[in-house]
Amino acid sequence: MSKPVRNDRFFIVGCGRSGTTLLKTILSSHPEIYVCPETFFFRSIRPRLHSAPDTPELVATAWWLADAGLSSNILKPLIEARENQGQSLECATLAAILDFHAATHPNLIIGEKTPDHVNHLDAIRDCFSGAKIVQIIRDPRAVLASYRKVKVGSNAVADIASEWANSTSTLENWVARSDFLAIRYEDLVANPEATLRDICAFLGVTFSPDMLNFHTRETDGFSQEQTHHVNTRRALFTDSIEVWKKQLPWRDVALLEWALGTMMVRHGYELRGEIIRFGRIRMIASRFGGILHKTFVRFPRQRQKALRARRRLRREARSK
């Protein structure tokens, strides 16, 4: 007799490099929770849905979804079932992806973690009326330092300032809602049990000590091409809270504080108080530098990563 499939859904969101992957990994170590790989749905799938001749085939071409085991044959009946319930194509497609993970992880609460989905909470709410949202916030100076250590995202102050401000504005607009929980990265790594107990209570499950041993898991939980997630193989460490003080040039710290200071203080982040002149001009220059980095560094990296992933998936398919 097959186990029942639960309909619980929740979403982990936040500014990039804020600890969303860490939180995903920890929560997936709970015996009643599974957080699926990132779907990148609203950024990479939804914009092409209505122009694609075959929705399941389109979704299956996304290497990160194929890597999770999704195929057009699997998705087609799941999408049709959701559309027969009256859901729009967009909602039906995202729901079908999560339905697949629910079927392969029966009797578990299913979560989804894509940081960028912090910009699409209204759309998520339209698709999943009962879903819960967990948002994590981190010191933007630490976010910038973290971005500069990995080969994803931007390394420009202007880009990180904009991303953090947008994410934090969403948090401030949603924080009073009963289906929304905000946590701080700093609390998660410094006081993990207390923070995780709050999250478990919010999700309606009992706290499990297994979550504190997330780093001893048998599988990585991320693809070979996502080496920027490798720190989730380590036990929690608090060095990451203030490491930015050694890694960031004072001008970058000053420019971030110039742009975000009021909001940072509002969320408990003490300013270093560096003074910078011509902040607006420097921010424009940073924004231009971010465009160059995106064009000549980030996009080529993304294409190369996708190519490597697709080649790996073809090799794995041939070996079966």
pLDDT band at 132; cut points 50, 70, 90 = very high
Alpha-carbon torsion (288, 62, 220, 96), positive or negative: positive
Q: Give the chain's mean pLDDT.
A: 94
Task: Judge contact between 27 and 35, C-beta under 8 A.
Answer: yes
pTM of the model: 0.95
Classify each residue of 194-228 as buried b or exposed e, where b means 16 or more C-beta atoms within 10 Å of its C-beta.
ebbeebbebbebebbeebbebeeeeeebbbebbeb
Contacts of 306 (CB under 8 A, 6+ apart): 63
- Parallel/antiparallel/unpaired status of strands 109-113 and 33-36: parallel
Largest Cα–Cα separation, the chain: 69
Which residues pair with residue 134 across a beta bridge?
12, 181
The pLDDT, as a whole number, for residue 2 is: 44
The pLDDT, as a whole number, for residue 223 is: 86
Instruction: Compute the residue count for the chain.
Output: 320
Set out the domains of the chain in order of their start, with CATH numbers: 9-319 (3.40.50.300)
Amino acid sitting at position 51: S
Q: Which of 105, 82, 90 is nearest to 41 (CA)?
A: 90
pLDDT digits (tens, 9 = 90+) for 78-98: 999 999 999 999 999 999 999
Torsion of the alpha carbons at 38, 39, 43 and 46, rounded to the nearest 10: -170
DSSP single-letter state for residue 42: I
Q: Which of 90, 155, 78 is nearest to 120 (CA)?
A: 90
Classify each residue of 18-46 as buried b or exposed e, where b means 16 or more C-beta atoms within 10 Å of its C-beta.
bbbbbbbbbbbbbebbbbbbbbbbbeebb
Q: How far apart are CA 117 and CA 14, in angstroms?
A: 8
Question: Strands (DSSP E) along the chain, which ranges?
Answer: 9-14, 33-36, 109-113, 132-137, 180-184
Kindly tell me if the per-residue pLDDT of 290 is higher than 60: yes
pLDDT band at 5; cut points 50, 70, 90 = low
Over residues 179-188, the mean pLDDT reads: 98
Amino acid sitting at position 101: H
Q: Which of 171, 175, 126, 193 is nearest to 13 (CA)?
A: 171
Kindly tell me if the per-residue pLDDT of 257 is higher than 50: yes
The pLDDT, as a whole number, for residue 1 is: 31
Over residues 3-15, the mean pLDDT reads: 84
Q: How far apart are CA 256 and CA 163, in angstroms?
A: 12
